[in-house]
Amino acid sequence: MQAFPAVATIAQDVRNGGRSARSFTDDALARIDAHGEALGAFLHVDVDGARAHADEVDRRAAGGDDLPLAGVPIALKDNLCTNGVPTTCGSRILSRFIPPYDATVVARLRAAGAVIVAKTNLDEFAMGSSNENSAFGPVRNPWDLARAPGGSSGGSAAAVAAGLVPVALGSDTGGSIRQPAALTGTVGLKPTYGRVSRYGLVAFGSSLDQIGPLSRNVEDAARVLAVIAGGDPRDATCSNDPVPDVVAGLEDGVDGLRVGLPREYFDDAIGDGVKTLVRRAANRLATAGATLIDVSLPHTSYGIPAYYIVATSEASSNLSRYDGIHYGHRTKDAADLAETYERSRTEGFGAEVRRRIMLGTFALASGYYDAYYDRAMRVRTLIRRDFEEAFEQVDVILSPTSPTPAFKLGEKTSDPLEMYLADVLTVTANLAGVPGLVVPEGLCDHDGARLPVGVQLMGPLWSEARLLQVGRWLERTREEAISIPEGAAS
């Protein structure tokens, strides 16, 4: 299967009248129809709505409107509210929810001329690292249909990796954009917390969640970020600072760049194939004039326990509204209010969501708050200071993203702790609020398969432009092409 043209090429073709938005939309819909079911990547395909909007984009383009994403087909993780289109969060409790409004990022995409074609599968309420927790079935990795694509934005990552759409949006609470990007050979960007409005994103961990793009190349991610970023009066946590031009400096070099290699991210738990490719990228940077500097993020080992207290506590609070009365699925024939609550939530929530709600409720309970939540927040401060001190010495940090390439479906589901440890290299960026970018570096042999490995770049707050510049350089100088996997079209 041929990849879609670059986002800028699609938009230029539509604006110049060389090809219509409707034709690009029909192309995406045909690809989804042919290959989407095998991947399990989509929960809703908005055929009629997408075509109607594409026709509108063609009219606007013909009228001379400035549309930076004119005609670009895009898929959205199904925790982003879309007016008149189902938004389930991969959960039975929201199986019939149709929002009456668009999330801010969705409204901005539409205004820029992008065409929303589908909603993608995800771990229920974005809680998972493999996309096996969805109430509507798992997503399969296009590189090997027996393997997980990562989570929780696995549907978005798989759709882009398989060439079904050129770009998709995901959300990242503890690595849910970056880890799937690494496991599927795509580009994934988690912006600084507050760079992109969360209005209309169904909340998991409100102090951790951030929306970002998944794409096949760095420039496409930059162009989507340029559209969705910026202040929003409906999100008090969204920064009103001007957003720099993240596209202008993409082709700049890396001479003089100070690159940090955190020693805690290269321990024995990280696979040899992964470490080899990350070090290959580092050596390439050094050859081009960058300086490699060993740095320490000493509280990294506390990241997983701190994250899974903070995140589950916020989840417990955020998901308390789904009780069968105010929001969500309501059970039938309950005898009283207490039974309505119990049965509605038991029927509506999957096992992983119930587990995290219970963990968070316990951590927030009277008598345990100081021992768990308050202590986790103190550790979070220490992790943030680790990054601040490191960025006094370096401009960016380069590291692995996931301890291994894609693991097999079912391999980790029997041990929740082992699944949680898949996020050990990504959760700290969310706790600190710093941006992270994953770029494919190459393929390595793992467990009888040849699978993609992505390198992670992290930078100081608001440094998306620099991360994208470095990521683009790594992409441009990569030794091997990362094409659409053959399994995607099977």
CA atoms within 13 A on the CB side of 356: 31
How many Cβ atoms from other residues are within 10 Å of residue 203's Cβ? Answer: 20
Strands (E), 137-246: 167-172, 187-190, 210-215
Cα 201 to Cα 122: distance, rounded to the nearest angstrom: 13
Q: Which of 77, 119, 190, 412 is catalytic?
A: 77
115 Cβ partners below 8 Å, 6+ apart? 21, 24, 25, 28, 50, 53, 54, 57, 71, 72, 73, 74
Q: Which of 20, 152, 197, 316 is catalytic?
A: 152
Q: Which residue has the tokens 């390198």?
A: 455
CA 159, 160, 163: angle at the middle one, nearest 5?
90
8 A C-beta contact, residue 151 and residue 131: yes
Phi, psi of 215 (to 5 degrees): -155, 175
8 A C-beta contact, residue 459 and residue 246: no
Is there a catalytic annotation at residue 414? Answer: no
Name which of 289, 290, 367, 351 is nearest 127 in CA terms: 351
Cα dihedral sign, 234-114-3-133: positive
8 A C-beta contact, residue 162 and residue 142: yes
Q: Which of 129, 156, 171, 176 is catalytic?
A: 176
Is there a catalytic annotation at residue 77? Answer: yes
334 Cβ partners below 8 Å, 6+ apart? 324, 340, 343, 344
Cα 176 to Cα 211: distance, rounded to the nearest angstrom: 10
- For residue 462, the one-letter residue type is W
How many Cβ atoms from other residues are within 10 Å of residue 318's Cβ? Answer: 18
Q: Are strands 115-120 and 187-190 parallel, antiparallel or unpaired?
A: unpaired
Name which of 39, 115, 119, 25 is nearest 74 in CA terms: 115
Is there a catalytic annotation at residue 275? Answer: no
Cα dihedral sign, 62-63-69-71: negative
Cα 308 to Cα 384: distance, rounded to the nearest angstrom: 16
Which active-site residues does the annotation give?
77, 152, 176
